[in-house]
Structure 1
């Protein structure tokens, strides 16, 4: 089933790459571009079935104003927000603004396509777990650092948590690989995936984030570096 779609992201290359992938799958891309602030104008002019709107900070003030305008002026258009590793308040803000879905930036194209189909059909295109977390956060808000540490901890696999603890303990790639019983190249892959999930650019930044947010307190301490 083909969907008429508009793709908008503050990063033009991201919008164009996603648009190309959707065209390959047989969807009709009516427009793709940047920035997000012009999403409503593009939607009003093109009248798609679905608008994929990429936002780096969906919970930032004014970030979802285009969604509200689309909802007001083109109520039949389903907006799916493509955001970072989900923050409950960001997800809640997206739906409050009128979006019908929320998909992570690192989702595979299959997941984006499923979200498009669900949103077009009028269904909420978001995982039940994410919705529960969003409403739980709104009903029982925690302090900023505590909430962030708990949120990040929930995203990590057991292996990624182990890698993070080793990074916090100051281990280099060779020692991480030895501790995990894997090749150094595999250890580097684990580290890179961890940095991507945490939204950090370096191991030092990841370690600082883990300590600052209390993330380390939410992780299983099954590994400690020898003294």
Structure 2
């Protein structure tokens, strides 16, 4: 007996092609629609047995909100997600929203049909290889790309981080030297080293890079920046509160 279903995909051609293939196999397609934004309302109004919901980004926040709405309004509708090879997070998000299955979007029509039948029968429809891949990734997570702010922070000494903080707050060489109780020539050397390590050519660029990568926030959370009102500065003794943030000074190195 054929399944009464709807096919919803972000790409209308995909939805229509899949709908045509399933019609030829004896299933009753109530609608083939795109985009997925209005999918929930359409599915709720038509009340199919199964909804095939295609998505290109299963890990994106909110992508399965239509599933949540469908299951709330029509709990008897089984939703099978069609998507790319997912991360464990993508599979988990689909099932957490109420989906009954997850099928790769390049699956053969026979595989899609089997998933539909299992979902209609109240069974979970996930290919074993997808689950195996998900568990493998959970047990052996791939290394994440290094955080740029953290990487830059590791290039700098604590004293250089303090110098960068002061540069970002608009202090010129004279103020940096006074605040850190070091000679102006030493302050100038520290600034030069900071610029060199960050690969920038000016104080303005250094401040912009620090803000863009979150370097200063990471420095504060790690305690690397000690030159503010929060505490002492090495052997030079305590430093008073830092003034309001201002533009980077134009003084030369």
Residues 77-104 of structure 1, C-alpha deviations (whole Å, 9 max, x = no match): 0000000122221111111111010010
Q: Show structure 1 runs of 5+ residues with no match.
A: 147-227
Query: Residue 102 of structure 1 aligns to a residue in which SS?
Result: strand
Q: 1:89–1:138: 8 Å Cα contact kept in structure 2?
A: no
Deviation at 1:6, TM superposition (A): 0.4
Q: Find the counterpart in structure 1 of residue 63 from structure 2.
A: 63
The count of aligned residue pairs is 146
Taking the aligned partners of 1:114 and 1:20, their CA distance within structure 2 comes to 17
Q: 1:19–1:29: 8 Å Cα contact kept in structure 2?
A: yes
Q: 2:115–2:125: 8 Å Cα contact kept in structure 1?
A: yes
Q: Find the counterpart in structure 2 of residue 45 from structure 1.
A: 45
Taking the aligned partners of 2:119 and 2:108, their CA distance within structure 1 comes to 17
Taking the aligned partners of 2:44 and 2:31, their CA distance within structure 1 comes to 11
Runs of 4+ in structure 1 off by over 3 angstroms are 132-146
Query: Residue 32 of structure 2 aligns to a residue in which SS?
Result: strand
Taking the aligned partners of 1:135 and 1:98, their CA distance within structure 2 comes to 20
Query: Residue 52 of structure 1 aligns to a residue in which SS?
Result: strand
Q: TM-score, normalised by structure 1?
A: 0.60
| Structure with the largest fraction of helix | 1
Equivalent residue runs for 1:70-219 within 5 Å: 70-134=70-134, 137=137, 141-145=141-145
Q: Find the counterpart in structure 2 of residue 8 from structure 1.
A: 8
Q: Find the counterpart in structure 1 of residue 152 from structure 2.
A: none
Q: Mark the structure with the bigger radius of gyration.
A: 2
Q: TM-score, normalised by structure 2?
A: 0.54
Q: 1:64 to 1:138 in 2, by over 3 A?
A: farther
Q: Show structure 2 runs of 5+ residues with no match.
A: 147-253
Q: 2:85–2:130: 8 Å Cα contact kept in structure 1?
A: no
